[in-house]
Amino acid sequence: MFLDNPYSFFVVAAIAVLITGISKSGFSGGMGALTVPLMAMFISPFKAAAIMLPILCCMDVLSIFAYRNNFHRQNLVILVLGALSGIGLGALTYSYVNADNVRILLGLVTLLFGLSFFVGKQKQDTANKVSTPVGVGCGIIAGFTSFIAHAGGPPVKFFLLRQNLDKTLFVGTNVAFFLIVNQVKIIPYAWMGQFSTENLLLSLVFVPIVPLGIWLGLRLHKVISPELFYQISYFMMIVAGGKLLYDGMV
């Protein structure tokens, strides 16, 4: 049963859940890509993903209340259209896909995009137009990687950050997107038997941490300037990309 897990697992997982909550409600995620790898130090990545899905759904429900009137509808529709295909692809290939190869590819792209902001001194002073093909493509990748390892944030950021959206609109679009994606993922996860009694009990153990993480994230979002917000967002991409790359290679 879940009590057989070492004490260190509960400490690390609790910290990871708290950071994920802060990241999701305050900075559009990113650090959430670290949760499954951190848990995977003690349990299998597939079990960690199954434990995290109900927790992420709780975070989405709490976060959407704060951003229910602040999301970019056109971007959301484009991304969700792609994500539905990506989730379907993930469900059909789940047993055959090498998760480490997915982590390496996604981590490399994420790391390079994040570094481009600082190395190339990229400025958020011009906004790129919404591109439907790019958005659908990012949605497909996000849906697939989110299904495999809850690591769908980087492709969404890649699409949205370059549009120079208002920081609240940017976070709100991310929140609305993953609210839909994570709810849809419940169906194939249940079909594949991922929600065992033990996994659900472990999810329940960490759920009480969720409101604190969401509240802290919302508080930080209000006091941080747009310039600092974008710097943090790109830095989070570097951290998440580096972590994904490392986990895929070791």
pTM: 0.83
Is there a contact between 37 and 240 (Cβ–Cβ < 8 Å)?
no
248's tokens:
């895929």
Give the mean pLDDT of 44-73.
89
Q: Write down the pLDDT at residue 4.
A: 66
Q: Write down the pLDDT at residue 77.
A: 95
Give the mean pLDDT of 44-51.
82
Tell me how far apart the alpha carbons of residues 159 and 139 are, in angstroms, rounded to a whole number. Answer: 9
Q: Write down the pLDDT at residue 62.
A: 94
Tell me how far apart the alpha carbons of residues 36 and 208 are, in angstroms, rounded to a whole number. Answer: 18
Res 67 pLDDT > 90? yes
Q: Write down the pLDDT at residue 229.
A: 76
Radius of gyration of the chain (CA): 17
150 versus 57: which is more confidently predicted?
Answer: 57
180's tokens:
């839909």
Tell me how far apart the alpha carbons of residues 72 and 56 are, in angstroms, rounded to a whole number. Answer: 21
- Nearest CA to 98 out of 148, 61, 167 is that of 148
Res 36 pLDDT > 80? no
Least confident of 5-9, 27-31, 171-175: 27-31
pLDDT single digits (tens) 89-135:
988 987 787 767 767 876 787 787 778 767 755 444 556 677 899 99
With b for 16 or more beta-carbon neighbours within 10 A and e for fewer, the 123-153 pattern comes to ebeeeeeeeeebbbbbbbbbbbbbbbbbbbb
Residue 53, Cβ neighbours under 10 Å: how many?
23
Res 65 pLDDT > 70? yes
- Nearest CA to 169 out of 236, 81, 73, 79 is that of 73
Q: Write down the pLDDT at residue 82.
A: 96
Torsion sign (Cα): 171, 12, 40, 210 = negative
Residue 231, Cβ neighbours under 10 Å: how many?
15
Is there a contact between 114 and 238 (Cβ–Cβ < 8 Å)?
yes
142 versus 162: which is more confidently predicted?
Answer: 142
Mean pLDDT of the chain: 84
Tell me how far apart the alpha carbons of residues 130 and 137 are, in angstroms, rounded to a whole number. Answer: 13
pLDDT single digits (tens) 203-230:
999 999 999 999 999 998 888 887 787 7
Least confident of 3-12, 57-66, 72-81, 170-179: 3-12
pLDDT single digits (tens) 143-190:
998 888 787 888 898 899 888 888 899 999 999 999 999 999 999 999
